[in-house]
């Protein structure tokens, strides 16, 4: 049987346009595209309000930075929802019962709706290859290559659960009323996606290969979280050239980077525990993957 590369076809068709279908989709998914650049979240949302380097920027530079950070969030959500369509499609085809097929078929429809909701706020002129984003590249590769049970755990239990926390925070602090409403609408579906994953996942039923894939995937993902707010710091650094190590360290301290990162890792640990994956937690905990990097480690991860 020939291997079907879900993400290849998803990316390959992305640039193709069909005017007739676009008209149908415009009627199906109502809503006007938001002009960009837009600032959807304020400085406090990124813990920048107490950062001296941010306060020293001009008003124009501050607005530019916040607009860029807003698009970073939207861009990530856009590609996550696009990957969600691939996930739903793959799981629909791999379903072993009609109930399962209906469940994942509905997931695919949900993710398509989410994609169209997020697309309204996305500046496609600033689009980047997802290989430039370690998380998006990781997500794409995992959906394409991981076996079914490993995907249920990684996508529905962990990432959909993480998405509930992340989208909830984004919605509550969003300054744009339409986007706030759309994010809350997405949350309603994510509750079902995550909850069904927790029900379907059983650690005892994992094969050795599935467990190994879950552990390696979790290791990679947790390492991405451990490094702290590197994306925000990189954007900030682009407007403050030639920063010293001590300046970077001070900015991360003012952003409460270690505390905030540890909070995120605690949430991820709780999600894994919720699914009953106790031995997986023990192994990762023993290796220190649920502990945030120290400030100097975070600084060393910054390029330049």
Taking the C-alpha atoms of residue 207 and residue 213, their distance in angstroms, rounded to an integer, is 10
Q: Mean pLDDT of all residues in the chain?
A: 88
Residue 74, pLDDT > 80, answer yes
Q: Which pLDDT score, from 0 to 100, does residue 13 have?
A: 46
Domains in the chain, CATH or no CATH each:
47-300 (1.20.1260.10)
Per-residue tokens: 132: 């430039």
Q: How many residues does the chain have?
A: 304
Cβ contacts of 91 within 8 Å, gap of 6 or more: 104, 107, 148, 151
| Per-residue pLDDT reduced to its tens digit, 11-41 | 544 555 666 666 666 656 666 666 666 899 9
Indicate whether this model's pTM tops 0.85: yes
Q: Which pLDDT score, from 0 to 100, does residue 292 have?
A: 97
Within a 10 A sphere around the Cβ of 213, how many other Cβ atoms?
21
Separation of CA 280 from chain center: 22
Q: Helices 98-119 and 177-200 meet at what angle, rounded to 10?
A: 160
Alpha-helix residue ranges (DSSP H) falling in the chain = 6-12, 19-28, 52-55, 59-94, 98-119, 134-145, 148-151, 160-173, 177-200, 208-226, 230-238, 245-254, 257-274, 278-286, 295-300
Per-residue tokens: 273: 């525990």
Q: Which pLDDT score, from 0 to 100, does residue 206 have?
A: 87
Q: Check: CB of residue 126 under 8 Å from CB of residue 96.
A: no
Q: Check: CB of residue 173 under 8 Å from CB of residue 41.
A: yes
Residue 118, pLDDT > 90, answer yes
| Per-residue pLDDT reduced to its tens digit, 222-279 | 999 999 999 999 999 999 888 999 999 999 999 999 999 999 999 999 999 988 889 9
């Amino acid at each position: 049987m020939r291997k079907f590369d879900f993400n290849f076809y998803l990316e390959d068709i992305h640039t193709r346009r069909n005017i007739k279908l676009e008209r149908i989709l415009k009627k199906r998914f109502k809503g006007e595209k938001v002009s960009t650049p837009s600032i959807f979240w304020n400085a406090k949302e990124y813990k920048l309000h107490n950062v001296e380097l941010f306060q020293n920027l001009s008003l124009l530079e501050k607005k530019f930075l916040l607009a860029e950070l807003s698009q970073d969030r939207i861009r990530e959500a856009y590609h996550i929802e696009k990957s969600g369509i691939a996930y739903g499609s793959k799981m629909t085809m791999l379903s072993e019962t009609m109930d399962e097929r209906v469940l994942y078929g509905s997931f695919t429809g949900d993710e398509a709706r989410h994609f169209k909701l997020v697309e309204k706020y996305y500046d496609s002129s600033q689009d980047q290859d997802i290989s430039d984003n370690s998380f998006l590249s990781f997500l794409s590769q995992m959906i394409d290559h991981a076996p079914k049970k490993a995907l249920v755990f990684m996508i529905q239990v962990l990432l959909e659960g993480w998405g509930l926390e992340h989208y909830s925070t984004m919605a509550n602090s969003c300054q744009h009323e339409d986007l706030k409403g759309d994010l809350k609408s997405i949350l309603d579906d994510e509750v079902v996606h995550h909850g069904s994953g927790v029900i379907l996942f059983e650690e005892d039923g994992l094969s050795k290969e599935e467990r190994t894939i879950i552990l390696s995937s979790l290791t990679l993902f947790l390492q991405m979280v451990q490094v702290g707010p590197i994306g925000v710091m990189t954007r900030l650094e682009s407007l403050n050239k030639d920063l010293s190590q001590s300046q970077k360290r001070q900015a991360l301290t003012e952003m409460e980077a270690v505390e905030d990162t540890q909070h995120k890792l605690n949430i991820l640990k709780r999600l894994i525990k919720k699914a009953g994956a106790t031995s997986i937690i023990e192994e990762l905990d023993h290796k220190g993957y649920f502990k945030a990097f120290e400030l100097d480690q975070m600084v060393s991860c910054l390029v330049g």
